[in-house]
């Protein structure tokens, strides 16, 4: 991607997210230039008036004007600072919102990958919307300052300008070399820092506290830190040595040029072509010019660096997909039949098929159990149904309509899922159960009872208004693993969608709670359709149909008795568990 | 007045803690502190050099010295500057390297100390706040640089005040007044920050929460399937608005106070300029000296500002420095090295052990009496919250029993040196987490590993083929977190790696807490078979909800409400009519009776 295109993207980003930054940054810059120029030029007049022994009242006036201008600049600075800081704070928030919006529209199959998340983090860290603002404002300010100084220096003697130019050029070369060096080594430094942060977090975090205390892990800790320290030492040595070489050359060139410059101007003053005031202003100008050039080069190099990250930003933008054309008139009927028609799926940029030629029909009210070994494709099957993934080939239909075409607001009401890695929000119990639906006290109490959560809720001081976890409220209550699972079940029950999917819902439940769920499941779900994934074949006792997954294919489908009769995969799994339990039954 | 003394004492206390911090930095990496001395000296010299030389040149020009003399001064100036800058750059190399090293060495030291804390201590909110501070807001390099900056700027201030002294005593009074105004405002700023710190951090944390859930893939599923984007957005906007408003209010108050400082500084400049111009005009002050005084005043302002900023930085880290000192001053626990031999036959005995969490009254464990010998295995059964995991935590010495003692071979386990105890105990916790390091690192948990032992344990857990097929075999990283070439392991595979850890360590006591939750029936069966074989000569405890597995252990203990309500063999417990165990077992097996 060429640089101009990248710049254009950055400008568009600023315009979209934080255009107000232009004005606030301009004000900051203006104040800073005004102050710098005042300190360079006004003292010159005071000094000249003093040396030439002019009228004392003139001197007083000049001092008054000088201090007065400084006071005014500082006043404006103080008055506008809250507004300027607010702009910066707001832009930090706005850029985060923008990126989160992009992430929300990315395909889940992409979003799930750590690759995407790394890219998102990088983009969020490097491209924050203010890049073009800083660039433009810095360059403009530098040009303005330089022009003013150049005019002044030229008015003394154009020859001086030429010498100044030489100094500027040598500074620039040194700076560019330094930047190139920095860019070369930065990835290594970053990697070293990342590893350092990782071992800090891992070895000190509370979640690893137990592991750290039952194992002799000191040697491992020491080894990892030592590795990191050694690597960093090497990187620092390499970088700083090279840096020193560049700086020494540059310092030497500066020194030579300074001798020339100051010598010549001193000569001019001594022969009377230049006043002492101008001399002192000139000295100050040289610093001013040097700073302005420095700032311009920095702005340019910073932008160069940022441009390198633009492709990542552009990728994140591209991955935020637009929804496909939808049938706005589709309405869910009371009888829903789901069909998987020759569905296959593999992850983007991979070869291996995770699901192959899945054909399955789920009539209204069917309770389907899905069993199979780990990695067989059971959870992927669910994710396709939820439209988290899209089939690579084949299609999934609801009453004959491809689910891709169903409007999102409608489809999200059709399915509830409780995944194995279910999550509880740190909001209150009501929010966790009701989410964004309408709140009905009767209904919520009903589902709390269905989910066997009444006892827990009764122990809470604020009842269903109690916050879960202490994130937002200090009197929030922690929910244990089993309690959290029941809360999420209540959520699914409340939504009361035509299709309910439970993925290993009893993993954290003890036998009694497990039995409660099995016993009441059919009555809770009613005549809605349900899909139940579990290792524990006990769950198949209340399901109408069982699908056995193996290596991404459905190898057996049928009722419990039918599958036993086949004597295949299901039968052997069943017999194994029977042997363990029923075989030992002495009762 | 006493309030002022109180504040003064507070500041002194913070300073003392800061000094302790520096002392520790010196102790851990002396070069890091020593290199700062020449660095600071050069920085101070570089600040004063231009001032003095400019004074000489300007005075000389005013007094019409010859061009030769002018050139001599200018050459001298440039040369000195060159030399000093060169030296400063050179020292800087060492300084940067050393700061990196000190940072890492100090952090390693802290990690060591944190891990030497007892589990109970690490659980305390104080410790967790400390750890969070380390992760989020505290930068050790920043603290060290702030400290050296304070020293440097203080020296500069002394020098500048010295220069100004030679002009006029009145100016001293003025500079001191400005110092006082600055100090008062800064003190106020700090008090203000103390008041605002909680709400600001609170609001920031809430906004961060939303960021976290929006980046999380598990939440991502929930949000997409239920179409919660707008709902979350609205909540997030609320939190964001609160944060921005809070920051605005805070900034406004800071600004109002800063206005006083700016006013004082402007007044000071006015007075100084008036005084100096008067002296030049009506007195015999030379231009060079005039310029020197002007520069000194502005250096005074900037150095003062820089020093106070650095100082504020240190004060803001006050809490951290206090906790740091507490953590570092805690002595290392006694390591008595009498017994290094592990006896072949072990007996664990719970002698009337009861436990309730600190500051609570509810008994989690109530009068537990249990005995377990080497070569015996025990299943612990109970509903969630019955106390099973707490029993394990007591055995791991994370907590001490509220009453009663746990004995190992008739020795109170709290008296056994931790080195020895760690060798004896092997645990797989329910909420284990694997590190992003290599497979070998994760299994051996040490800096070196025995290849044969490693592969032996991998084979037993059925993972040998998988590891052999990895690009770097056992040196492959176990996730992409720190190494892009790392390989992700599935839930079931991770669980089996955890078991490999135990097999590799070969401890005398083995504890497994729900070790097969993520495994399908076949793998679960294989694994249990393997574990029972392996633990034949050991003392082993298994916690599981899947009661079928209990038939392979020698004994079963059923825990309800913190008490052992049933104890015996599988057959014995099934014979108890209306027994807890029988009820639970019948429940689970009922599904398989069709």
DSSP per residue over A525-540, as a string? HTTSEEEEE-S-GGGG
* B398 at interface of A, judged by CB pairs closer than 8 A: yes
Partners of residue A360 on adjacent β-strands: A340
What the block records as the tokens of A107 is 């395909």
- Which residue did the predictor score with more confidence, B125 or A371? A371
Burial class (CB in 10 A: 0-12, 13-18, 19+), B563: middle
Give the C-alpha separation, B467 to A448, whole Å: 46
**A252: chain B residues, CB-CB within 8 Å:** 82
pLDDT value at residue A62: 92
- How far is it, in rounded angstroms, from Cα A483 to Cα A471? 18
Q: What 3-state DSSP class applies to B276?
A: helix
The answer to whether the CB atoms of B446 and A51 lie below 8 A apart is no
Q: What is the distance in angstroms between the Cα of B587 and the nearest Cα belonging to chain A?
A: 7
pLDDT > 90: what percent of chain A? Answer: 36
d(CA B392, CA B512): 9
DSSP, res A414: T
Query: Rounded CA gap, A58 and A47, in Å?
Result: 12
CA distance A476 to A460: 9
pLDDT value of position A160 = 85
Please name which of B55, B67, B70 lies closest in space to residue B286, comparing C-alpha atoms. B55
Residue spans of alpha helices (H) in B396-438: 418-424
What pLDDT does B518 receive? 65
ipTM surpasses cut 0.95: no
pLDDT at A270 over 50: yes
- Predicted local confidence at residue B331, as pLDDT: 63
Residues 378-407 of A with CB under 8 A from B: 383, 386-388
Chain A residue nearest residue B498, CA to CA: A211
- Residue A384's closest CA among B352, B526, B221? B221
Residues A492, A497, A502, CA angle at the centre, nearest 5°? 45
> Contact A14/A129 with Cβ under 8 angstroms?
yes
- Cβ contact, residue pair B225, A223, below 8 Å: no
CA distance B267 to B265: 5
Of B62, B523, B587, the CB nearest to A511: B587
Rounded CA gap, B355 and B390, in Å?
A: 9
Q: How many whole angstroms separate alpha carbon A217 and alpha carbon A214?
A: 9
Closest chain A residue by Cα to residue B90? A244
Q: What is the DSSP string of B371-406?
A: EEETT-EEEEE--TTSSHHHHHHHHTTSS--SEEEE
* B429 reaches A (C-beta below 8 A): yes
Token pair, residue A211, equals 């592991």
Residue of B nearest to A112 (CA): B217
CA distances to A216, B101, B157 from A226, in Å: 17, 10, 40
Backbone angles phi, psi at B441, to 5 degrees: -60, -45
d(CA A503, CA A506): 9
Chain A contact for B383 (CB, 8 A cutoff):
yes
Interface touch A218/B112, C-beta < 8 Å: yes
Q: Using CA atoms, how far apart are residues B20 and A528, in angstroms rounded to an integer?
A: 67
DSSP H helical segments within B216-348, as ranges? 217-225, 229-282, 287-316, 318-329
Q: Which residue of A has its CA nearest to B501?
A: A215
| Least CB–CB distance from B252: residue in A82, A233, A513 | A82
Letter string b/e over residues B376-406, b meaning 16 or more CB atoms within 10 A of that residue's CB = bbbbbbbbbebbbbbbbbbbbbbbbbeebbb
Instruction: Evaluate if residue A586 carries a pLDDT over 50.
Output: no
Cβ atoms < 10 Å from Cβ of B224: 21
| Separation between Cα atoms, residue B413 and residue B394, nearest integer Å | 10
Whether residue A195 and residue B482 make contact (CB cut-off 8 A), yes or no, is yes
Mean model confidence pLDDT for chain A: 87
Q: Which residues of chain B have pLDDT under 50?
A: none
Residue B435 in contact with residue B449, Cβ under 8 Å? no
What pLDDT was estimated at residue B330? 75
pTM of the full structure: 0.79
Residue A422 host element (H or E): none
Q: Tokens 């208004």 label which residue?
A: A465
Which chain A residue lies closest to B64 (C-alpha atoms)? A270
- Return the minimum-mean-pLDDT range out of A388-397, A525-534, B511-520: B511-520
Q: Tell me if A378 sits within 8 A of B490, measured CB to CB.
A: no
Contacts of A243 in chain B (CB under 8 A): 89, 93
Q: Mind listing the domains of chain A with CATH numbers?
A: 359-414+498-587 (3.40.50.300), 427-496 (no CATH)
Determine the average pLDDT of the residues in A61-76. Answer: 93
Helices (H) and strands (E) in chain B, counts: 21, 10
Between CA A355 and CA A347 the distance in angstroms is 10
The C-alpha atoms of residue A377 and residue A197 are separated, in whole angstroms, by: 35
Question: Is residue A325 predicted with pLDDT exceeding 70?
Answer: no
* A578 to chain B, closest Cα gap in Å: 6
Q: Which DSSP helix (H) or strand (E) runs through A370?
A: strand A367-372
Q: Give the A:B interface size as CB pairs under 8 Å.
A: 399
* Whether A221 contacts B108, CB under 8 Å: yes
- Contact residues on chain B for A499, CB-CB shorter than 8 A: none
Q: Does the beta-carbon distance from B122 to A421 stay under 8 Å?
A: no
Determine contact: B30 vs chain A, CB below 8 A.
no
Report A:72-91 residues touching B (Cβ under 8 A). Answer: 74, 78, 81-82, 85-86, 89-90
**Are the CB atoms for A379 and A533 separated by under 8 Å?**
yes
Number of CB atoms found within 10 A of residue A585's CB: 14
Evaluate if residue A138 carries a pLDDT over 80. yes
Residue of A nearest to B227 (CA): A412
Cα A535 to Cα A507: distance, rounded to the nearest angstrom: 9
Query: Cβ of A280 under 8 Å from any chain B Cβ?
Result: yes
DSSP character string of A37-99: HHHHHHHHHHHHHHHTT--HHHHHHHHHHHHHHHHHHHHHHHHHHHHHHHHHHHHHHHHHHHH
CA B547 to chain centre: 41
Residue A451 to residues A17, A476, A492, Cα–Cα distance (Å) = 44, 21, 10
Helix, strand, coil abundance in chain A, percent, nearest 5: 65, 10, 25
Q: What chain B residue is nearest to A203 in terms of C-alpha separation?
A: B111
CA distance A4 to chain B (A): 31
B415 in reach of chain A (CB within 8 A): no
Task: Measure in Å the smallest separation between the Cα of A358 and chain B Cα atoms.
Answer: 22
Other Cβ atoms within 10 Å of A17 Cβ, number: 19
Selected residues 195-224 of chain A with any CB under 8 Å from a CB in chain B:
195-196, 198-224
Q: Identify the helix (H) or strand (E) that includes residue A554.
A: strand A553-558
Does B591 contact A537 at a Cβ distance shorter than 8 Å? yes
Say whether B277 and A267 touch across the interface (CB within 8 A). Answer: no
Q: Identify which of A480, A414, A478, A230 has the alpha carbon closest to the alpha carbon of residue B97.
A: A230
The tally of CA atoms less than 13 A away on the side-chain side of residue B123 is 10
Residue with tokens 């399908």: B520
Per-residue model confidence (pLDDT) at position B203 = 85
Among chain B residues, CA nearest to A215: B422
A430 burial type by CB count under 10 A (0-12 exposed, 13-18 middle, 19+ buried): middle
Q: CB atoms < 10 A from the CB of A542, how many? A: 18
- DSSP label of A390: -
Instruction: Decide if B48 contacts B159 (C-beta within 8 A).
Output: yes
State how far the Cα of A189 lies from the Cα of A567, in Å rounded to an integer: 60
Shortest distance between the Cα of A456 and any Cα of chain B, in A, equals: 12
What are the structure tokens assigned to A437, written together? Answer: 């639906």
Average of per-residue pLDDT across A55-74 = 92
């Amino acid at each position: 991607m060429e640089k101009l295109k990248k710049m254009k993207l950055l400008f568009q980003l600023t315009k979209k997210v934080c255009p107000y930054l232009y004005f606030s940054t301009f004000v900051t810059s203006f104040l800073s230039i005004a102050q710098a120029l005042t300190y360079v030029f006004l003292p010159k007049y005071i000094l000249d008036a003093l040396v030439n022994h002019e009228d004392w009242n003139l001197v007083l006036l000049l001092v008054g004007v000088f201090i007065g201008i400084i006071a005014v600049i500082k006043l404006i600075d103080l008055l506008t600072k809250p507004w300027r800081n607010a702009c910066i704070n707001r832009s930090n928030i706005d850029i985060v919102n923008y990126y989160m919006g992009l992430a929300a529209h990315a395909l889940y199959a992409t979003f799930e990958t750590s690759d995407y998340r790394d890219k998102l983090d990088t983009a969020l860290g490097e491209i924050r919307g203010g890049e073009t603002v800083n660039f433009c404002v810095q360059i403009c300010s530098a040009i303005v300052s330089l022009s003013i100084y150049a005019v002044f220096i030229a008015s003394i003697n154009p020859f001086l300008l030429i010498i100044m130019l030489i100094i500027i050029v040598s500074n620039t070369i040194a700076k560019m070399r330094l930047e190139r060096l920095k860019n070369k080594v930065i990835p290594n430094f970053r990697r070293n820092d990342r590893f350092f942060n990782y071992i800090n977090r891992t070895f000190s975090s509370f979640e690893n506290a137990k592991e750290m205390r039952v194992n002799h892990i000191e040697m491992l800790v020491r080894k990892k830190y030592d590795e990191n320290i050694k690597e960093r030492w090497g990187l620092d040595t390499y970088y700083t040595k090279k840096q020193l070489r560049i700086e020494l050359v540059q310092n030497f060139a500066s020194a030579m040029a300074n001798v020339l410059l100051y010598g010549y101007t001193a000569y001019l003053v001594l022969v009377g072509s230049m006043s002492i005031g101008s001399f002192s202003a000139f000295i100050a100008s040289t610093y001013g010019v040097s700073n302005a050039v420095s700032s311009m080069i920095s702005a340019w190099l910073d932008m160069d660096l940022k441009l390198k990250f633009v492709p990542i930003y552009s990728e994140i933008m591209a991955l935020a997909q637009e929804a496909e054309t939808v049938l706005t008139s589709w309405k869910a009927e009371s009888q829903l039949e789901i069909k998987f028609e020759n569905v296959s799926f593999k992850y983007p940029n991979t070869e291996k098929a995770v699901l192959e030629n899945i054909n399955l029909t789920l009539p209204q009210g069917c309770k389907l159990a899905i069993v199979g070994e780990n990695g067989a494709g059971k959870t992927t099957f669910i994710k396709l149904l939820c439209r988290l993934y899209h089939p690579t080939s084949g299609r999934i239909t609801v009453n004959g309509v491809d689910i891709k075409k169903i409007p999102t607001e409608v489809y999200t009401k059709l399915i509830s899922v409780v995944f194995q890695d279910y999550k509880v929000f740190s909001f209150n119990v009501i929010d966790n159960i009701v989410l964004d639906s309408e709140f009905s006290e009767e209904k919520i109490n009903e589902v709390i009872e269905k989910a066997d959560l009444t006892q827990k809720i009764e122990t809470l001081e604020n009842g269903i208004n109690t916050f879960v976890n202490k994130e937002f409220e200090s009197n929030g209550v922690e929910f244990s693993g089993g309690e959290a699972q029941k809360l999420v079940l209540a959520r699914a029950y409340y939504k009361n969608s035509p299709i309910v999917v439970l993925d290993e819902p009893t993993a954290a439940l003890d036998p009694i709670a497990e039995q409660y769920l099995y016993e009441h499941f059919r009555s809770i779900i009613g005549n809605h359709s349900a899909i139940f994934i579990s290792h524990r074949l006990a769950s198949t006792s209340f399901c109408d149909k069982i699908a056995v997954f193996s290596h991404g294919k459905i190898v057996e489908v049928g009722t419990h008795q039918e599958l036993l009769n086949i004597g295949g995969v299901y039968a052997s799994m069943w017999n194994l568990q029977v042997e363990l339990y029923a075989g030992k039954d002495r009762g | 007045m006493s309030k002022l003394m109180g504040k003064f004492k507070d500041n002194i206390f913070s300073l003392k803690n800061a000094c302790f911090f520096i002392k520790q930095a010196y102790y851990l990496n002396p070069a890091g502190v020593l290199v700062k001395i020449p660095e600071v000296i050069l920085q101070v010299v570089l600040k004063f050099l231009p001032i003095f030389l400019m004074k000489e040149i300007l005075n000389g020009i005013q007094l019409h010295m010859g061009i030769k003399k002018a050139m001599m001064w200018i050459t001298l100036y440039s040369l000195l500057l060159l030399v000093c800058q060169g030296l400063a750059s050179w020292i800087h190399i060492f300084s940067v390297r050393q700061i990196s090293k000190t940072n890492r060495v100090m952090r390693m030291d802290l990690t060591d100390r944190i891990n030497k804390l007892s589990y109970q201590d690490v659980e305390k909110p104080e410790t967790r706040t400390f750890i969070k501070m380390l992760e989020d807001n505290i930068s050790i390099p920043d603290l060290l640089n702030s400290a050296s900056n304070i020293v440097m700027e203080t020296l500069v201030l002394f020098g500048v005040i010295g220069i100004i002294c030679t002009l006029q005593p009145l100016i001293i009074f003025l500079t001191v007044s400005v110092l006082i105004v600055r100090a008062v405002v800064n003190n106020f700023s700090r008090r203000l920050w103390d008041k605002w710190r909680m709400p600001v951090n609170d609001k920031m944390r809430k906004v961060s929460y939303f960021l976290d859930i929006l980046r999380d893939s598990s939440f991502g599923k929930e949000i997409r399937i239920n179409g919660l984007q707008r709902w979350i957005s609205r909540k997030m906007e609320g939190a964001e608005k609160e944060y921005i408003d809070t920051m605005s209010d805070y900034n406004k108050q800071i600004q109002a106070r800063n206005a006083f400082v700016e006013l004082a500084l402007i007044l000071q400049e006015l007075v100084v300029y008036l005084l100096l111009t008067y002296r030049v005009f009506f007195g015999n002050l030379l231009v060079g000296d005039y310029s020197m005084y002007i520069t000194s005043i502005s250096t005074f302002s900037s150095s003062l500002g820089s020093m106070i900023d650095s100082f504020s930085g240190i004060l803001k880290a006050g809490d951290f420095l206090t906790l740091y000192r507490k953590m570092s001053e805690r002595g290392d626990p006694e390591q008595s090295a009498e017994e290094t031999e592990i006896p072949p036959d072990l007996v664990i005995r719970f002698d009337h052990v009861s436990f309730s969490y600190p500051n609570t009254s509810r008994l989690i464990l109530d009068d537990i009496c249990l005995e377990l010998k080497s070569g015996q295995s025990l299943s612990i059964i109970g509903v969630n919250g019955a106390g099973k995991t707490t029993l394990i935590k007591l055995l791991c010495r994370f907590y001490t029993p509220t009453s009663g003692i746990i004995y190992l071979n008739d020795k109170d386990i709290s008296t056994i040196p931790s080195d020895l105890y760690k060798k004896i105990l092997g645990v797989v916790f329910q909420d284990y987490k694997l590190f992003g390091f290599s497979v070998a690192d994760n299994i051996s948990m040490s800096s070196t590993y025995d290849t044969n032992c490693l592969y032996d344990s991998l084979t037993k857990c059925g993972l040998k083929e998988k590891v052999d097929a990895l690009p770097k075999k056992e040196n492959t990283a176990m996730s992409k977190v720190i190494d892009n070439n790392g390989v992700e392991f599935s839930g079931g595979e991770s669980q089996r790696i955890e078991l490999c850890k135990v097999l590799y360590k070969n401890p005398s006591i083995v504890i497994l807490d729900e070790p097969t939750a993520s495994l399908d029936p076949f793998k679960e069966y294989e694994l249990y078979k393997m574990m029972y074989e392996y633990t034949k000569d050991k003392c082993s405890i298994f916690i599981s909800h899947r009661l079928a597995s209990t038939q392979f252990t020698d004994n079963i203990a059923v825990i309800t409400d913190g008490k052992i309500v049933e104890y015996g063999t599988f057959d014995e417990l099934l014979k108890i009519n209306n027994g807890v165990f029988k009820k639970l077992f019948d429940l689970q097996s009922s599904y398989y009776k069709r």
